[in-house]
Chain A
Amino acid sequence: MDALDRVVKPKTKRAKRFLEKREPKLSENIKNAMLIKGGNANSAVTQVLRDVYALKKPYGVLYKKKNITRPFEDQTSLEFFSKKSDCSLFMFGSHNKKRPNNLVIGRMYDYHVLDMIELGIEKFVSLKDIKNSKCPEGTKPMLIFAGNDFDVTEDYRRLKSLLIDFFRGPTVSNIRLAGLEYVLHFTALNGKIYFRSYKLLLKKSGCRTPRIELEEMGPSLDLVLRRTHLASDDLYKLSMKMPKALKPKKKKNISHDTFGTTYGRIHMQKQDLSKLQTRKMKGLKKRPVERITEDLERKSKRIKKN
């Protein structure tokens, strides 16, 4: 309970910073992922978790010991771990006769499970098995989703959103073009999802944009969708709520027409056109003699009127 957290006042600045890092904010921290082994995880599943941890470093925690829990029956231990390590994404691997090579991938909202999707691993090629140079850890990957299955069913749509959330990494405003090193490609075909990761090689082409060649680098998985535990619509809507401060502000009095011209409206006060400041031509300036005669004329006119 964070109310109880606040009642206990932190005694050091370090503790205070620790608590401030974990409290809800307007623009959030990067989501951490926790990778957990189940009670009966086999070597394949363990290797998968280790590879994903390598992809997700430093925003991930790999738990070394086995944890005997069943995510789909009881979510309390997952929520406890999430609260302790402040991780909102998780991946749980297990293996039994009914569900061989099982991987549960999920995310949390407010330290409670939001979505959980169970995937079965059919084929797995690890990072170690492909012998070439890898890219440095912490690089932001490019994500590509192919296949129209990702928009057809709600399950697949949530899976796509979950995978984006899991693998996207920190949100940056600028990116070094030479630093775009690897790409994760998800293809949905015949009810299976093929996950491949490639290293990018930029070759010369005739113009500025380079030609791409790909080299298979990292873990490649053939996944099949098993069970899902998706959040109800209103909980999902609640989790998607954006604070007003972050919504893009609409500028008033600016409009665009179909040709791309921008029109703006300026509101002016009433101007007295007789007192308008125009350009002064020094040559046309009245000499003092002329000004005096003008004054005299005006005075005589006034006297005449009266």
Chain B
Amino acid sequence: MEGQSVEELLAKAERDEADKLQRITVHKELELEFDLGNLLASDRNPPTGLRRGEPPPEAELRALARDNTQLLINQLWQLPTERVEEALVARLPEPTTRLPREKPVPRPRPLTRWQQFARLKGIRPKKKTNLVWDEVSGQWRRRWGYQRARDDTKEWLIEVPGSADPLEDQFAKRIQAKKERVAKNELNRLRNLARAHKSRLPSSAGMHPTGHQSKQELGRALQVARVSTASVGRFQERLPKEKAPRGSGKKRKFQPLFGDFAAEKKSQLEMLRLMNSKKPQLDVTRAANKQMREEDQEEAAKRRKMSQKGKRKGGRQGPGGRRKGGPPPSQGGKRKGGLGGKMNSGPPGWGGKRKGGQHQGGKKRK
């Protein structure tokens, strides 16, 4: 008896619960998808009663909307809440729907020259006061800007220093110095900006004609201009003394992926043979060229040193007359008589050695 009454009580409690929740439960075949961060709900259920072909009545649409909104509100009421100034506030999660941005992601800007230097030296910005006491005017003035504390362009009396020209205008000189400093600051700012944008605008860096472009920038501008025709530079003739552009072809050439199977097999077997062999393979030509290049570099270094020493001692000739970078003996002969004797002694022996060296390899230099 008691057992039955306990069961009855439990059943009744369940029914009460169901009744309570009946007002807010909605039955749907497919669960809705919620994105509470955006207060968004997506109902995937095909709208059943409304599929006739005529426009659905407003009451049906409203009933559907009511059901969906009820489900969304149920979800929202389950979020953690807190009380903020007499209002019940729910904490929303992050929105999960991914939407496109309105502007591109900002890229990190490279450090300016000063920032790099400060980082290297470990300099930290010191906190400075905004106002400084100005003795001259007897008040607190800004450190920089309009009506600043120590503005040397605004002085009414400047003593002419002893070493200066008495007819020089000292006031104008100070104003000129200020203008130069401002221009230098602006130049540095623009250079920092250009460095920041360098990766973004590589093509138009040297293309705008300023008065002072470097030789490489001009060369690059020339190349781009040549290729900017309708036939991509194919029928563009070169100027009389213009040389062919070097390094504009393909940088590396690869074999096609599959083509000549026999050649591929051969090259791979050759590679295996080389790897297995105990003796190191020596390419005589490459070794000889390398040796020659090293020798040339040493000589060039020596020549530079001699020329520096020669310049310092007032333009005296170095031994062997190696001043102007080893001109061919014919050109050396064209020089002045005074130098000619010395010049002739140097190069023949030296040139002979060179020619001998060149024949050693037997092939052109790479």
Contacts and interface: CB of A to CB of B under 8 A. Distances in A.
Given A6-B193, A174-B84, A143 B89 contact: no
A185 B116 CA distance: 55
A144 B37 contact: no
Interface in B71-103: 72-74, 76-78, 81, 84, 87-92, 94-95, 97-103
Interface residues of B, number: 62
Interface string B17-29: 0011101100000
Nearest to B30: A148
A208 interface: yes
B65 A150 contact: no
B306 interface: no
A36 to B, nearest CB: 18
Contacts of B358: none
Interface string A131-152: 0000000001111111110110
The secondary-structure label for the interface of chain B is mixed
A212 B103 contact: no
Contacts of A238: 104
Given A24-B103, A24-B106, A241-B101, A177 B72 contact: no
Contacts, number: 197
Nearest to B91: A174
B73 A176 contact: no
A172 interface: yes
Interface in A194-233: 194, 196, 198, 200, 205-214, 216, 222
B39 A141 contact: yes
Contacts of A206: 19-21, 23
Contacts of A28: 101-103
A155 to B, nearest CB: 16
B315 interface: no
A280 interface: no
Given A141-B39, A239-B100, A146 B68 contact: yes
Interface in B167-216: 189-190, 193, 197, 200-201
20 contacts: A3-B193, A9-B189, A107-B100, A108-B102, A143-B41, A145-B42, A160-B42, A164-B99, A168-B38, A175-B90, A183-B69, A205-B20, A207-B24, A209-B73, A211-B70, A212-B70, A236-B100, A240-B98, A241-B101, A243-B106
Given A164-B99, A206-B19, A240-B99, 10 more contacts: A144-B42, A145-B41, A146-B64, A194-B61, A196-B62, A207-B20, A209-B78, A210-B24, A214-B66, A214-B69
Interface of B: 19-21, 23-24, 37-47, 50-51, 53, 55-56, 58, 61-62, 64-66, 68-70, 72-74, 76-78, 81, 84, 87-92, 94-95, 97-106, 189-190, 193, 197, 200-201
